[in-house]
Structure 1
Amino acid sequence: MEPQGDARRKLKQRLNRIAGQVAGIQRMVDEDRYCVDILTQIAAVRSALDSVGVELLTEHVSSCVIGHGTESEHECAKPMTQEQLVEEVKTVLGRFLK
């Protein structure tokens, strides 16, 4: 597993890239660009966000669910039973997959 600081740096870089893509979409709209080109860029941003989401969800399951109680979970993680952890994952997956 990557050191926490390196993983966070890479995540921030990816999010900055996505922010740049969104700004590019805004410019495309302002410039009255072809709708299909704009929609293609929107699809690219959605894909990039999904990728970041999968990475975060994977890290959450690894550290906070599987590692629950081993002091590897995030400092903000609440103490939960296994049933509560499963319910939390179910809820976040439901939100993420919409």
Structure 2
Amino acid sequence: MNADTKKRATMRIKRIAGQVAGVQRMLDDDRYCVDVLTQIAAIRSALDALGVELISAHLETCVAGHGTGSEHRCAKPMSQEQLLAEVRAVLARFLK
């Protein structure tokens, strides 16, 4: 993941953490259930957007750039079949 992607992801996750803390405050304040559920839906949407951004970055750098030196430093050497299997597994987990 490049520095720009990491910065955007970090900013997003901090916003999401704030939203989760807000839900906790709503529960502590005994807020109306529908309002709490609306905030939970917003958190799920924000997590999905973060996931899409990270998957896109992975596809651009680690998959399309496989073998070019642009992969993440922790990426394992893989054959094309292994790489595709990894992408399928990640997508299957993400889309559940």
Root-mean-square deviation (CA, aligned residues, Å) is 1.2
Q: Which residue of 2 aligns with 1:45?
A: 43
2:75 maps to amino acid: A
Percentage identity across aligned positions?
65
Q: Which residue of 2 aligns with 1:21?
A: 19
Q: Counterparts in 2 of 1:1-98, with a 5 A limit?
A: 4-98=2-96
How much does 1:9 deviate?
1.7
Cα separation, 1, equivalents of 2:61 and 2:4: 16
TM-score by length of 1: 0.93
Q: What secondary structure is seen at the aligned counterpart in 2 of 1:84?
A: helix
TM-score by length of 2: 0.95
Gaps of 5+ in 2: none
Moved >3 Å (runs of 4+): none
Cα separation, 2, equivalents of 1:74 and 1:6: 14
Offset from partner CA, 1:31-81 (integer Å, 9 cap, x none): 111111000000000000000000000000110011000000000000001
How much does 1:6 deviate?
2.8
Aligned residues: 96
Give the structure, 1 or 2, with the largest relative contact order (CA under 8 Å, sep 6 or more).
2
